[in-house]
Amino acid sequence: MGKTRMTVGQAIVKFLNQQYVVFDGEEHRFVDGIFTIFGHGIVAGLGQALEEDPGDLRVYHGRNEQGMAHVAISYAKQNNRRRIIACTSSIGPGAANMVTAAGTATVNNVPLLLFPADTFATRQPDPVLQQIEQSNSLATTTNDAFKPVCNYWDRVSRPEQLMTALINAMRVLTNPATAGAVCVAIPQDVQGESFDFPDYFFEKRVHRIMRTPADSAQIEDAVEMIMNAKKPFFVGGGGARYSEAGATLQKLCEDLTIPYGETQGGKSATPSSSPMNMGGVGVTGTLSANTIAEQADLVVGVGTRFNDFVTGSKEIFRNKNVKFLTINVSDYHAEKMDATKVVGDAKVNLEAIGEQLRAKNYKTDFTKEYLKEVKDEFAKELENIKNLTYTGKDFVPLVASWTPEIMNDYLEQIGGQITETNGLSIVRDVIADDAIVVSASGSLPADMERMWTTDEKDSYNMEYGYSCMGYEVQGALGAKLARPDKEVYAIVGDGAFLMLNSELTTAIQEKKKINVVLFDNAAFGCINNLQMGNGIGSLCTEFRYRNEETGKTDGDYIHVDFAKVGEGYGLKTYTAKTPEELRAALEDSKKQEVSTLIDAKVLPKTMAEGYKSWWHVGVASTSKSVKTQEACKNKEEKLNDARMY
């Protein structure tokens, strides 16, 4: 048995270079690179190894630890979880910055490999710079904060521990049922320690991503349930996308006249133009999908977690006799909604179920004519909201909680006249059909799930599991690194852009063009709607100056020149205050070779409202506000109709 002496940092690099995956017979490298922000806790250990011999790993220079980790998440997502970029940071605040990204990855079941540096295993210099000290346990460090948000956590306190730590990390990262964040904390002294590692640890490892068939009894249960259903409704989630099951889902539903909806994670797994695709379902869903959802006597979830936005807080499936069936690689998620479960790969199990349904000549009560009517009805509504433009003093926004003060102040102090729905429709009209769009937070994901149409597979990169503000710009870079042949657009609000835009500099450095379309309504707009819609006055959700007369932040709007911000980074930038200026900016941005930013000044309260849906939020049960009292009463009425679990 041969052995090679090297440091722990060098062993990590050598091991990562030898990891491969195979899926449907296609084999390729699993770890394509590593993001780093070198600090004192990492630069002399793992940093030395990366400088001396990175192998085939491309080393990326991040600007913010959360930001670079979000780039890595989007990269893995755009590669349908079959390629990753690892991330490493220094100790303390650098490591803590990645905790949010770890949560984002785990909620979305996207593989993310993190190597935060840790305090000294020997404890000789304690407290080392940036070390947090807990008197109740000297073993506690900042990296313990990763435990609740990771699917695997380890700390390598001795060189010998590295081998099992990395092998288990790969086990979790390459398993569709457990994919999420993995944290391997590496004390800064251990990184530089040498050890005689066995050569077999560095042999090429091929991780087979299995298409697991369900037990035959589960398939029989599923077929029986569907055969007994008159109005089944399929819901395609992120698992359908990652399994490459979109075409199978589409064909099954088209062959058997079964309507289906999409979650944010599943959107673009199948073409929007399919006559059976009703669009997004739930709180941010379409009128067509939610119309079918309330009729369904059987809901079949394909690779979905059934979160509250999909189920309308478990109220949207209103048929008193509705039953649930799930197809999911995760036994945990498969049991949601008291469902009959099919545990395994989405594609192979859809194929097995479809084969039996066709053999039995299954028919639903839905007709193609009726489903076309349902889709056509929403298409008319869609045209109305797409064409909503500012018309002057008689203009009425879509959101009921608007006030003349909000509209007039914005028009006078910011000057934008673009509506959000019309602006988004212009973006869809101008950019390439195969462009990738990335978003995550605010009102834009709601409008995009309802309005965005595409027949280009995997062109919709939405992070709506954690809905993490700040994913958008960073996610655009990750998608571009994964698909350099595509134009990529970050669709982002002003609030999320202000929260995190650090990796714009990395995009410039890597010469990877991304396009940022920034919708500036000078507010946390969707939360302002939620606030005012529940009878609460506007408080700290509009971006206004402090008014010393009232003591509140209800003064004039703060005008931020985001185009200047982008220009400072080195982007080609534009300011658009009218639909015509937005269209012209988008057209010109397509001609650019450098990253671009369009500062679109968008009127508040011009996003679309929900369709036949409800969302359970914690409304005050005691209030002086009549509107809040009414909101609480409505909540209780809806809860009476919703499932309890």
Which SS3 state, helix, strand or coil, does residue 26 take? strand
C-alpha 181/C-alpha 113 separation (Å) is 6
* For residue 216, pLDDT beyond 90: yes
Residues 291 and 393 in one domain: no
Domain, as residue range, for 295: 216-379
- Both tokens of 394, joined, read 């008689």
How much is the average pLDDT of 109-117?
98
The count of domains in the chain is: 4
Residues 361 and 459 in one domain: no
Q: Which of 180, 208, 236 is the last residue of a domain?
A: 208
Residues 454 and 583 in one domain: yes
% pLDDT > 70, the chain:
100
Which SS3 state, helix, strand or coil, does residue 202 take? helix
Residues 643 and 577 in one domain: no
C-alpha 240/C-alpha 137 separation (Å) is 44
Domain contains 609:
no
Q: Which of 166, 189, 208 is the last residue of a domain?
A: 208
- Both tokens of 613, joined, read 């849906």
% pLDDT > 90, the chain:
100
Residue pLDDT, tens place only, 475-496 = 999 999 999 999 999 999 999 9
Residues 167 and 58 in one domain: yes
Domain contains 540:
yes
**19-23/58-61 β-pairing:** unpaired
* For residue 32, pLDDT beyond 90: yes
Residues 251 and 339 in one domain: yes
Residues 519 and 571 in one domain: yes
CA distances from 178 to 94, 175, 261 (A): 26, 5, 25
Residue pLDDT, tens place only, 127-168 = 999 999 999 999 999 999 999 999 999 999 999 999 999 999
Domain contains 626:
yes
* For residue 528, pLDDT beyond 90: yes
C-alpha 582/C-alpha 20 separation (Å) is 44
C-alpha 147/C-alpha 144 separation (Å) is 6
Q: Which of 346, 379, 412 is the last residue of a domain?
A: 379
Q: Which of 612, 617, 638 is nearest to 286 (CA)?
A: 612
Taking the mean position of all CA atoms in its chain, how far away is CA 512? Answer: 21
Amino acid residing at 484: P
* For residue 393, pLDDT beyond 90: no
Residue pLDDT, tens place only, 270-283 = 999 999 999 999 99
CA distances from 485 to 3, 318, 481, 482 (A): 43, 44, 9, 9
Residue pLDDT, tens place only, 582-604 = 999 999 999 999 999 999 999 99
pLDDT attached to residue 1? 81
Residues 185 and 238 in one domain: no
User: How many CB atoms lie under 10 A from the CB of residue 124?
Assistant: 8
**Residue 136 sits in a domain of what CATH number?**
3.40.50.970
Domain contains 591:
yes
Residues 300 and 165 in one domain: no
pLDDT band per the 50, 70, 90 thresholds, residue 470: very high
Domain contains 244:
yes
Domain contains 147:
yes
Residues 318 and 422 in one domain: no
How much is the average pLDDT of 186-215?
98
Residue pLDDT, tens place only, 344-359 = 999 999 999 999 999 9
* Residues 85/60, Cβ–Cβ less than 8 Å: yes
| Residue carrying the six token digits 């835009």 | 501
pTM above threshold 0.75: yes
Domain contains 610:
no
Domain contains 32:
yes
Q: Which of 121, 116, 105, 110 is nearest to 158 (CA)?
A: 121
Residue pLDDT, tens place only, 60-95 = 999 999 999 999 999 999 999 999 999 999 999 999
C-alpha 567/C-alpha 504 separation (Å) is 11
Ranges of H-type helices in 97-160: 99-107
Residues 266 and 365 in one domain: yes
* For residue 266, pLDDT beyond 90: yes
Average pLDDT, the chain: 97
DSSP letter at 108? T
Residues 556 and 589 in one domain: yes
Residue pLDDT, tens place only, 415-429 = 999 999 999 999 999
